[in-house]
Amino acid sequence: MYDPLIDKKPYGATVANAPTHIRFPLERTLGARRAFIVLRRVHGKDEAEGEEIRFEMPLAKREGGEDIFEITFTLDEWGIYMYRFEAELEGGDIAFFGRGADGKAKRQDWLPEWQLTVSKRAYKTPNWAKSGVIYHIFADRFCRVGESDFKKQGRLHTYWTDRPDIAEPLKEYRADDFFGGNIKGILSRLGYLKSLGVTLIYLSPIFESSSNHRYDTGDYLKIDELFGTEEEFDTLVREAGRLGIGIMLDGVFNHTGADSRYFNKYGTYDSLGAYQSPKSPYFDWYTFKHYPTVYDCWWGSTVVPTVNKSAEGYKKLILADGGVIDKWTKKGVKGWRLDVVDELPIDFTTELCRRIKSEGEDTLIIGEVWEDASNKISYDKWRPYFMGEQLDGVMNYPFKRAILSLATGGSSAAFREEITRILENYPKQSLDVLLNLIDSHDTVRALTALSGVPAPESKLQRADFKLGDEEYRLARERLIFASTLQFTLPGVPCVYYGDEAGMQGFEDPLNRGAYPWGREDETLLAHYRALGRMRAKYADILQGETTFEDDDALVVFRRRSEAGEMTVLANPSDVAVRRKIAGKDALTSRSVSYVTVAPRSVRALITK
DSSP characters over 233-283: HHHHHHHHHHTT-EEEEEE--SB--SSSTTT-TTS-SSS--TTT-TTSTTG
Looking at the chain, the domain(s) classified CATH 3.20.20.80 span: 132-254+323-537
The residues of the chain scoring below 70 in pLDDT are 1-2, 5-11, 47-48, 170
Q: Which residues fall within 8 angstroms of residue 115, CB to CB, at 6 or more apart?
A: 12, 80, 81, 82, 374, 375, 424, 425
Q: Which residues neighbour 235 within 8 Å (Cβ) at sequence distance 6 or greater? A: 183, 187
Catalytic sites, residue numbers: 339, 368
- The CATH number given to 545-606 is 2.60.40.1180
- The CATH class for the domain spanning 256-308 reads alpha beta
* CATH 2.60.40.1180 placement within the chain: 545-606
How far CA 141 is from CA of 178, 382, 464, in Å, comes to 8, 37, 18
Give the number of other CB atoms < 10 A from CB of residue 110: 7
For 138-212, where are the E strands, in sequence order?
155-156, 177-178, 198-203, 207-209
Max intra-chain CA distance, the chain:
85
Within 10 A of 388 (CB to CB), how many other CB atoms are there? 18
The upper half-sphere exposure of residue 273, i.e. CA atoms within 13 Å in the direction of its Cβ, equals 22
Identify whether the C-beta of residue 555 lies closer than 8 Å to the C-beta of residue 406.
yes
Q: Where are the alpha helices (DSSP H) in 287-411?
A: 312-319, 324-330, 346-358, 397-407
Tell me, what's the pLDDT at 8? 55
Q: Which residues contact 262 (CB under 8 A, 6 or more apart)?
A: 256, 271, 273, 274, 282, 285
Quick check: helix, strand or coil at residue 9? strand
Fold of 5-119: Immunoglobulin-like (2.60.40)
pLDDT score for 130: 97
**Cis check: omega of the bond before 292, within 30 degrees of 0:** yes
Residue 136: C-alpha distances to residues 39, 133, 319, 442, 462 (Å): 41, 10, 25, 12, 23
Instruction: Please calculate the CA angle 180-497-183 and round it to the nearest 5 degrees.
Output: 35
| CATH class of the domain whose range is 132-254+323-537 | alpha beta
**What is the rounded CA–CA span in Å between residue 594 and residue 360?**
48
DSSP-assigned beta bridge partners for residue 583: 592
Q: How far is CA 372 from CA 17, 39, 68, 563, 587, in A?
A: 25, 20, 31, 30, 31
Structure confidence by residue, pLDDT tens digits, 456-496: 998 889 999 999 999 999 999 999 999 999 999 999 999 99
Instruction: Indicate where the chain has its CATH 2.60.40.10 domain(s).
Output: 5-119
Asked whether the beta carbons of 144 and 185 are under 8 A apart, the reply is yes
Which of 136, 224, 233 is CA-nearest to residue 183? Answer: 233
| Residues of each domain in the chain carrying CATH 3.90.400 | 256-308
The answer to whether 325 and 359 have CB atoms below 8 angstroms apart is yes
